[in-house]
Amino acid sequence: MLYFYNMSSAKKDDLVYKALADRRRREILDLLRDDAMTTGDICSHFKKIDRCTVMQHLGVLEKAGLVITQKKGRFRWNYLNAVPIRDIYDRWINKYANHSVDVLTKLTRDLESK
Protein backbone atom coordinates (compact mmCIF):
# COMPACT_ATOMS: atom_id res chain seq x y z
CA MET A 1 0.00 0.00 0.00
CA LEU A 2 2.88 2.37 0.71
CA TYR A 3 4.14 1.87 -2.85
CA PHE A 4 0.76 2.97 -4.21
CA TYR A 5 0.86 6.12 -2.06
CA ASN A 6 4.30 7.06 -3.34
CA MET A 7 3.26 6.49 -6.94
CA SER A 8 0.23 8.70 -6.43
CA SER A 9 2.33 11.43 -4.85
CA ALA A 10 4.89 11.29 -7.67
CA LYS A 11 2.12 11.55 -10.28
CA LYS A 12 0.72 14.65 -8.56
CA ASP A 13 4.18 16.23 -8.51
CA ASP A 14 4.54 15.53 -12.24
CA LEU A 15 1.26 17.34 -12.90
CA VAL A 16 2.44 20.34 -10.89
CA TYR A 17 5.79 20.48 -12.71
CA LYS A 18 4.00 20.23 -16.06
CA ALA A 19 1.65 23.04 -15.07
CA LEU A 20 4.52 25.27 -13.92
CA ALA A 21 6.54 24.61 -17.07
CA ASP A 22 4.54 27.07 -19.17
CA ARG A 23 5.14 30.81 -18.83
CA ARG A 24 1.47 31.70 -19.37
CA ARG A 25 0.31 29.30 -16.67
CA ARG A 26 2.80 30.85 -14.25
CA GLU A 27 1.43 34.25 -15.25
CA ILE A 28 -2.10 33.06 -14.45
CA LEU A 29 -0.92 31.93 -11.01
CA ASP A 30 0.68 35.34 -10.49
CA LEU A 31 -2.64 36.99 -11.36
CA LEU A 32 -4.42 34.84 -8.76
CA ARG A 33 -1.82 35.40 -6.03
CA ASP A 34 -3.58 38.35 -4.41
CA ASP A 35 -7.22 37.56 -5.09
CA ALA A 36 -9.60 35.28 -6.97
CA MET A 37 -10.55 36.25 -10.51
CA THR A 38 -13.28 35.28 -12.92
CA THR A 39 -12.31 33.37 -16.01
CA GLY A 40 -13.34 36.38 -18.10
CA ASP A 41 -11.00 38.65 -16.13
CA ILE A 42 -8.13 36.24 -16.66
CA CYS A 43 -8.90 35.99 -20.38
CA SER A 44 -8.95 39.77 -20.75
CA HIS A 45 -5.42 39.91 -19.35
CA PHE A 46 -4.08 37.88 -22.30
CA LYS A 47 -4.39 39.95 -25.48
CA LYS A 48 -2.54 37.61 -27.86
CA ILE A 49 -4.30 34.31 -27.07
CA ASP A 50 -7.97 33.42 -27.34
CA ARG A 51 -10.36 32.42 -24.58
CA CYS A 52 -10.23 28.73 -25.54
CA THR A 53 -6.45 28.64 -25.05
CA VAL A 54 -6.70 30.37 -21.67
CA MET A 55 -9.36 27.84 -20.66
CA GLN A 56 -7.01 25.00 -21.64
CA HIS A 57 -4.27 26.50 -19.47
CA LEU A 58 -6.71 26.84 -16.58
CA GLY A 59 -7.66 23.19 -17.08
CA VAL A 60 -4.03 22.10 -16.72
CA LEU A 61 -3.68 24.23 -13.57
CA GLU A 62 -6.89 22.82 -12.15
CA LYS A 63 -5.86 19.23 -12.88
CA ALA A 64 -2.58 19.86 -11.04
CA GLY A 65 -4.53 21.23 -8.06
CA LEU A 66 -3.00 24.70 -8.40
CA VAL A 67 -6.32 26.37 -9.19
CA ILE A 68 -9.64 25.72 -7.51
CA THR A 69 -12.75 26.88 -9.32
CA GLN A 70 -16.17 27.77 -8.03
CA LYS A 71 -19.18 28.62 -10.15
CA LYS A 72 -21.30 31.50 -8.81
CA GLY A 73 -24.19 32.40 -11.05
CA ARG A 74 -22.89 33.09 -14.54
CA PHE A 75 -19.29 33.46 -13.37
CA ARG A 76 -16.56 30.93 -12.80
CA TRP A 77 -14.22 32.10 -10.04
CA ASN A 78 -10.64 30.86 -9.96
CA TYR A 79 -8.67 30.65 -6.72
CA LEU A 80 -4.97 29.97 -6.24
CA ASN A 81 -4.13 26.85 -4.26
CA ALA A 82 -0.44 27.17 -3.31
CA VAL A 83 -0.35 23.92 -1.32
CA PRO A 84 1.09 21.82 -4.19
CA ILE A 85 3.86 24.39 -4.69
CA ARG A 86 4.62 24.31 -0.97
CA ASP A 87 4.74 20.51 -1.04
CA ILE A 88 7.35 20.62 -3.81
CA TYR A 89 9.28 23.28 -1.93
CA ASP A 90 9.31 21.14 1.22
CA ARG A 91 10.25 17.99 -0.70
CA TRP A 92 12.93 19.36 -3.01
CA ILE A 93 14.04 22.95 -2.47
CA ASN A 94 14.04 23.31 1.31
CA LYS A 95 16.07 20.14 1.95
CA TYR A 96 18.78 21.13 -0.51
CA ALA A 97 18.79 24.78 0.52
CA ASN A 98 19.31 23.89 4.18
CA HIS A 99 22.33 21.76 3.29
CA SER A 100 23.81 24.57 1.17
CA VAL A 101 23.33 27.12 3.95
CA ASP A 102 25.02 24.77 6.43
CA VAL A 103 28.00 24.32 4.08
CA LEU A 104 28.31 28.08 3.52
CA THR A 105 28.06 28.78 7.25
CA LYS A 106 30.81 26.24 7.97
CA LEU A 107 32.97 27.71 5.20
CA THR A 108 32.48 31.24 6.57
CA ARG A 109 33.40 30.15 10.10
CA ASP A 110 36.47 28.30 8.82
CA LEU A 111 37.64 31.32 6.81
CA GLU A 112 37.03 33.73 9.69
CA SER A 113 38.96 31.57 12.15
CA LYS A 114 42.15 31.70 10.04
Tens of pLDDT, residue by residue over 47-77, are 999 999 999 999 999 999 999 999 999 999 9
Sheet-wide strand order for 75-80: 37-38, 75-80, 67-72
The model carries a pTM of: 0.77
Predicted confidence at residue 87, as pLDDT, reads 92
**End-to-end CA distance of the chain, in Å?**
54
Strand partners, 75: 72
For residue 96, pLDDT over 70 is answered with yes
Predicted confidence at residue 110, as pLDDT, reads 82
Q: Are 34 and 27 in contact (CB under 8 A)?
A: no
Strand partners, 80: 67
For residue 1, pLDDT over 70 is answered with no
